[in-house]
Amino acid sequence: MIQNIFNILEKYGHVFLKGTWGTLYLSLIVVFFGTIVGALISLMKMSKFKPFSVIASVFVEIVRGTPILLQLYLFYYLGADLISNQLPDTFWVITALIVNSSAYVSEIFRAGIQAVDKGQFEASKSLGLSNAQMMRFIILPQAIKNILPALGNEFITMIKETSLASIFFINSLMTSEAIVSSTTHMKIESLIIVGIIYFIITFTLSKLLKKFEGRLQA
């Protein structure tokens, strides 16, 4: 088996390399846009304007209460049927992942903001700052210490969740595994290679994240 693994890597290493890049690229896009959307949703959820708060709360509960695979299928099929079938499949898969990520990121932002001492909010109001100024200059700079490490964990989680994109044959590690195993008929060996790559990526990022958290605490 070990010899087969080396033979596969020698012949199809470029396929796994392409899948690794696809997974990282997909994860970066999802977390980047998921962070922007999630931040807006968290602000809506904490808004004193009731309709915004209700809409954001319902959105978060629905997304967090349903499986990500179901969301992928819904966006993949409903998006093409109801909006446009001219858009590439990748667009709908990425959109579904962004929507899923934004719900979790919104809770990360909300928790990070609420962790800031209440006195900071009161002091900001006493200085006559508007809500936007308070969030921009006072609250978010303090909340960032709680938010950034959690966003790092979300990125690591998304790297693993993008494996579901292989169902729609989007470029990712699991798609590379499907291509190689169907060509070589060595399913176990291909899965082991992909598992090792996933472990190396997530383990490395976890260690870097811990160092980053240490610096933030310092």
Residue 149 has a pLDDT of 84
**For each of the chain's 218 residues, which pLDDT tens digit applies?**
888 888 888 998 999 999 999 999 999 999 999 999 998 999 899 888 889 999 999 999 999 999 999 999 998 888 777 776 677 888 889 999 999 999 999 999 988 888 887 777 777 777 777 777 777 777 777 788 778 888 888 899 999 988 888 888 888 899 999 999 999 889 999 999 999 999 999 999 999 888 887 777 66
The pLDDT of residue 195:
94
Q: What's the distance, CA 172 to chain centroid?
A: 15
CA 63 to chain centre: 13
What pLDDT is recorded for position 84? 64
pLDDT at 212: 80
Which pTM was predicted? Answer: 0.87
Q: pLDDT value at position 147?
A: 86
Q: Is 118 helix (H, G, I), strand (E, B) or coil?
A: helix
Burial, 52: exposed, middle or buried (Cβ in 10 Å; 0-12, 13-18, 19+)?
Answer: middle
Residue linked to tokens 């990500």: 68
Is residue 186 within 8 A of residue 4, CB to CB? The reply is: yes
For residue 201, how many other CB atoms are within 10 A of its CB?
18
